[in-house]
Amino acid sequence: LSSGVKSFELANRNEKKDMQEIIALVNASKSMSAGELANQLGIPISVARERFVAAENSGSLCRDDSIEGLRFYPNEF
């Protein structure tokens, strides 16, 4: 992962499908933290955060890093 964390992934993982699923979950919830996404998908928090960052880099999500923690929202701009 870009953070330096090492992880194993299935060879048949579909990054585009994963991104669409994450965007749909965030849209349905209005916002999500990496912990919430990890619980929802059954993945480690570090992987959830990396996937959020990838969705943010694509312009699909935006973040709010506040005293309450890091949350991701649909990018409506």
pLDDT tens, residue by residue, 27-45: 999 999 999 999 999 999 9
CATH of residue 25's domain is: 1.10.10.10
In a domain, 10, yes or no: no
Amino acid 8: pLDDT: 55
In a domain, 5, yes or no: no
- Any idea what DSSP says for residue 32? B
Number of structural domains (the chain) is 1
Cβ-contact 35, 74 below 8 angstroms: no
In a domain, 66, yes or no: yes
- Any idea what DSSP says for residue 66? E
In a domain, 70, yes or no: yes
Q: For residue 44, give both structure tokens.
A: 């480690």
Q: How far apart are the first and last CA of the chain?
A: 28
- In this prediction the pTM is 0.79
Question: Going by DSSP bridges, is the β-strand pair 69-74/61-66 parallel, antiparallel, or unpaired?
Answer: antiparallel
Kindly indicate the confidence band of residue 75, based on its pLDDT and cuts at 50, 70 and 90. Answer: very high
Range of the domain at 64: 15-74
In a domain, 28, yes or no: yes
